[in-house]
Structure 1
Amino acid sequence: MSGALVFKRENGWLPKVIREAEGLRLEVVGGADALHDPRRFSVPIREEHLAVIRADLARHLILSSAVGPLCHAAGIRGPLDEAAAVALLDPILLARPDEVDAFLRRTKWERALLVAHGADIELLEDGRVLASLSAATESSNWQRAQTYEADQRRARRGVTLSPLDAAILKFTGQYLHGSTIPRRDPRAVEPALLPVVLRVVATAERACADMNIARDPRRGKLGTDKRDWKRMEAAAEAALRGEHPELADDAVRTVTFLMCSEAAARARKQPFDVEVVPPGERELTFTDDKEVERRWRPGDERGAVESFWAFVAERAGSRNEVFTLEDEDPGEGIQLHFYADSIARIATVPQGDGYRVEYGLIDDLAHYRAMVRAYVAGGFGALDELAGWMSDHAAFEDARRRRDGSRRG
């Protein structure tokens, strides 16, 4: 700030008045620069503007709410539209209350700022902006503003929440932002409604009691099985709609999200495959589609199954979806095609120069897990009953296309 401070309020973010050599200026903080530091702008004002800013908090707040969009429009380095800012001064600071309200109906301004400073929401929505600020405060409550904006988003979707719906969303921490990972916060709920909220959550818990969400190494180290998620989600939703039909969709959705996200968090603390598989006595080689290789040897800290899936989780990606688990000594192995939900088992032809390749369709992640376990524990022959193996590649591709078509249908 280059000029001398003339007036500012306790809230340092509201526009200040400074005096420079050429006269009074309104200094506004708004937007951010390329380093995310706040930008400062200033526009010329007159003495009568200063008098109103000093005496009338409501008009000061309205002016701030109207200048804000101009600051954001300036971006990280552009100039403030000074003419547009100056054009706000007289209509907001010097006009009659009805004229102020009429002016705001054709001007862009930030409602959330006024709500944060205590605006009466009913009057604000009725277009009586100046009257809505009769009890405004210099201090701000942005939690109130966030709640208002969340309610407005729901209103635009045609959603009306009951007190119980709202309490459930507050319990999970999703009242303000539906994308927030849900949690359990009993303190956010009014004591009278908490027992009912807990009964709703208990309904979903009973429905999901025997269900789990597995880790999915195809989706990285933190990935979980989408199908498991959808099954748990469906079970929780059915139970909630059956026992609590009065709940809004938003409330049902947040409880099912809570069940699934908690199950996924538990899964990430578990091995990639929780089944116990004999460690095996043969050395195995893992490779991916980028020709990265890793060897597993008997006596390694992790078993072969877990080591293989850890390798997949580390290496898998949209351009790396073929993984091989091979026993080089007899010349056999399995190749997992994640992009096609299929598998191939490959064996060297005895006393020959080529390989015998058979293809199988895979149903889901659990099917892949069963294949890997069986191969590690029993080798090539242990896979016989786990797929309808086909040696004709064209016939296999036809079967895969039919399978994929039935899934889409």
Structure 2
Amino acid sequence: MRDVVFTRQGWFPAVVRCENGLCIELAAGADANHDPRVFRFPVDEVRAAVIEADLRRHLLLWSAVLPLCGDAGSQGDLDVEAAVALLDPTLLGTPDEVDALFRGIRWDWRLLMAHGGDIDLLDDGKVWAALSEATVTPDRRRVEEYEVNRRRAQRGVTLAPLDTAILRFTGQYVHGATLPKRLPDEVDPELLPDVLRVIATAERATTGMRIGLDPRHGRGVTDKAAWERVATVAEEAVRAAHPELADDAVATVRFLMCSEVRDRSKNLPEEDDAEGVGDRAGGPGGVRTARLTFTDDKEVAQPWAPGDSRTAGAAFWEFVASRSAPDNEVFTIEDEQLGEGLQLHFYADSVARITTVTRGEGASEPEYRVEYTLVDGLDGFRTRVRAFVDGGCAALDPHGPWTADLAELERARTRRREANS
């Protein structure tokens, strides 16, 4: 049997009538299934009447009991004796007695702050005075902002009003890991023009940039190098025009620009579609007339023919995105008519161009010339794919240096690694 005698709203502890009389009932913590645990401990009519009449004392009791619920964990029992011992000093004590009690026990300051507790008075342990304007409805955001500002203070960060306004504009004042937005209503109207000027600085700097996908890692994976390029351009522009801004404000503008450039890029055609690539038969920028075959390291092949709905480059990168995996990082484009191919080694940041020297007749094997060069990231791979699709192996000449000596390739790799370190 359970009848609710009094409750306020939400998660407030309720006074209920159980089989053994009146009890205080509250939900706190979670069990092994992540469902809220419900705790009860006895109360009499006099103290129940105080809970109903006095919001301040109701909140103080709740704040004092919550740590006991936490001690019970997911399966333990509430220390009923300790909970009952809190009733008299919290519900019947003088303001001084209440403050004295809270100086000697654990209590949930977040709860009191959320329900309107004065932050400075709570910090001083003056809980009674702190709740003079207590509210039934909690303001969780107030607690979140307090905690994030405390963490900023620990990092030695001090935000000026414009810094704060920029963070509120992007919705990252509290949660820096959330995707930034544009929330002008969150900003003081007097500061909004200054915020928009900062945003405009970053927008002008990143106009025309794009952040596409990185097909080397499958579908839907953002190109990290392109993201970093946009971030760097945005940050440099903002710091040059607004050197007074704190790092947190600059970082949120940088994040906003990258997110928006990435979203715009989703609606643009595959990068290679816009290049007007051709081949030696059609001429640079013309229409490719030769067929191509794409293959991966698992010997899966996909043909491409002139007149297909996508350009050769776009179709190849779609093939890569659909087939790429940690154990499948070698892809080839072959022009059988010309006897040429381009092989991409994603795991090694290198490519090989393959040219048929003799095609082989009868029992004789064909002879190939294989030359290698290192590649710098996805853009390097894209550049060479575009050149090969446009003009075959000859068009790759400027994108070297090329070597047939694998030992020399490894020496070049070592030199690059040392230079980067």
Whether the TM-score (by the shorter chain) exceeds 0.5 is: yes
Query: Which residue of structure 2 aligns with residue 275 of structure 1?
Result: 275
Whole-Å Cα distance in 2 between the matches of residues 66 and 314 of structure 1? 57
How far is the alpha carbon of 1:201 from its aligned partner? 1.4
Distance 1:39 1:339, change over 3 A: same
Q: 1:376-395 counterparts in 2 under 5 A? A: 376-395=389-408
Greater CA radius of gyration, 1 or 2?
2
How far is the alpha carbon of 1:3 from its aligned partner? 1.5
Is the CA contact (8 Å cut-off) linking 2:231 and 2:258 kept in structure 1? yes
Structure-2-length-normalised TM-score: 0.86
Distance 1:193 1:80, change over 3 A: farther
Query: Which residue of structure 2 aligns with residue 182 of structure 1?
Result: 180
2:381 to 352, 362, 368: 368
Query: Which residue of structure 2 aligns with residue 60 of structure 1?
Result: 58
Query: Which residue of structure 1 aligns with residue 231 of structure 2?
Result: 233
Distance 1:191 1:288, change over 3 A: same
Could you tell me which runs of 5 or more consecutive residues in structure 2 were left unpaired when the two chains were aligned: 279-286
Are 1:333 and 2:335 an aligned pair? no
Whole-Å Cα distance in 1 between the matches of residues 103 and 327 of structure 2? 53
Q: State the Cα deviation string for residues 244-292 of structure 1 (Å, max 9, x = none).
A: 2221111111111111211111112223314221352233222334444
Distance 1:386 1:125, change over 3 A: same
Is the CA contact (8 Å cut-off) linking 2:329 and 2:347 kept in structure 1? yes
* Amino acid aligned to 2:4: L
Q: 1:114-133 counterparts in 2 under 5 A? A: 114-133=112-131
Query: Which residue of structure 2 aligns with residue 308 of structure 1?
Result: 316
Q: Percent identity?
A: 56
Query: Which residue of structure 2 aligns with residue 5 of structure 1?
Result: 4
* Amino acid aligned to 1:367: G
Give 3-state SS (helix, strand or coil) of 1:231's partner. Answer: helix
* Amino acid aligned to 1:42: R
Distance 1:100 1:329, change over 3 A: farther
Distance 1:116 1:270, change over 3 A: same
Is the CA contact (8 Å cut-off) linking 2:169 and 2:186 kept in structure 1? yes
* Amino acid aligned to 2:125: G
Structure-1-length-normalised TM-score: 0.88
Is the CA contact (8 Å cut-off) linking 1:220 and 1:314 kept in structure 2? yes
How far is the alpha carbon of 1:45 from its aligned partner? 3.6
Query: Which residue of structure 1 aligns with residue 282 of structure 2?
Result: none
Are 1:359 and 2:357 an aligned pair? no
Give 3-state SS (helix, strand or coil) of 1:112's partner. Answer: helix
Distance 1:115 1:341, change over 3 A: same
Q: 1:132-211 counterparts in 2 under 5 A? A: 132-211=130-209
Give 3-state SS (helix, strand or coil) of 2:5's partner. Answer: strand
How far is the alpha carbon of 1:175 from its aligned partner? 1.0
Whole-Å Cα distance in 2 between the matches of residues 291 and 40 of structure 1? 60
Is the CA contact (8 Å cut-off) linking 2:4 and 2:15 kept in structure 1? yes
Q: CA RMSD in A?
A: 2.7
Distance 1:26 1:294, change over 3 A: farther
Q: Report how many aligned residue pairs link the two structures.
A: 405
Are 1:342 and 2:350 an aligned pair? yes
Distance 1:54 1:391, change over 3 A: same
Q: State the Cα deviation string for residues 361-407 of structure 1 (Å, max 9, x = none).
A: 11232221111111112222221221111111122112112212322
